[in-house]
């Protein structure tokens, strides 16, 4: 396949699954203004790794793996203060009509940001509606382990929501 063909195929698949880049970057950025940098890092790695995609797994699964691996490394090295590899005006993923998430989703995002980088990957896949088998395929865990961890995260979130509601009630009655 020639380079323009590869580029065209890459862009078409990227267009179909651009939401993955956006969502992974949103979940792993400490500050919202760092999101375009992380998106750019993910896009560069996706493009560089595209040649290794052999079609054995779904493109979206492969894309989640690449995006999460880049995001975890980005999050850990906290590279936001260094210059990006290819300085450019934007990542190429744009929001045309920004929608404000409902309050409980905003609250959920706050709780997710308190999880470690590995559990964040799991909870994002869970919320995106992936099966436990797919989550295991992306993370490298066993299916049983995925189930155990999701159940623990659920417990943690239930407690966190209960605590937040309690604090809100206390605040309201005062």
- For residues 92-111, which are near other proteins according to CB under 8 A? 92-99, 101-102, 104-105, 108
- C-alpha span between 133 and 54 (Å, rounded): 19
Q: Are 45 and 84 in contact (CB under 8 A)?
A: no
Nearer to other proteins, 43 or 170 (CB): 43
133 contacts other proteins (rule: CB under 8 A): no
Is 32 within 8 Å of 106 (Cβ atoms)?
A: no
For other proteins, the closer of residues 85 and 167 by Cβ is 85
CA distance 38 to 73: 10
Tokens of 150: 């999701």
How many C-beta atoms lie closer than 10 Å to residue 114's C-beta?
A: 11
What character string, x for contact with other proteins (CB under 8 A) and - otherwise, covers 16-55? --xx--xx----------------x--xxx-xxx--xx--
Taking the complex as a whole, the smallest distance from the CB of residue 38 to other proteins amounts, in Å, to: 14
Single out the segment in contact with other proteins by CB under 8 A; choices: 29-37, 90-98, 166-174. Answer: 90-98
């Amino acid at each position: 396949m020639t380079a323009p063909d590869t580029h065209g195929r890459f862009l078409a698949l990227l267009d179909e699954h651009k939401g993955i880049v956006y969502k992974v970057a949103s979940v792993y950025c400490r500050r919202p203004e760092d999101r375009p940098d992380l998106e750019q890092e993910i896009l560069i790695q996706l493009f560089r790794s595209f040649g290794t995609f052999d079609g054995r797994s779904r493109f979206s699964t492969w894309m989640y793996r690449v995006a999460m691996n880049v995001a975890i490394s980005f999050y850990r090295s906290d590279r936001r203060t260094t210059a990006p590899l290819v300085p450019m005006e934007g990542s190429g993923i744009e929001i045309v009509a920004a929608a404000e998430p409902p309050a409980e989703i905003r609250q959920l995002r706050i709780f997710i940001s308190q999880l470690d980088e590995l559990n964040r990957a799991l909870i994002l896949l869970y919320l995106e509606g992936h099966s436990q088998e797919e989550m295991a395929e992306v993370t490298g865990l066993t299916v049983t382990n995925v189930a155990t961890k999701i159940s623990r995260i659920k417990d943690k979130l239930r407690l966190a929501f209960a605590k937040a509601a309690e604090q809100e009630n206390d605040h309201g009655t005062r």
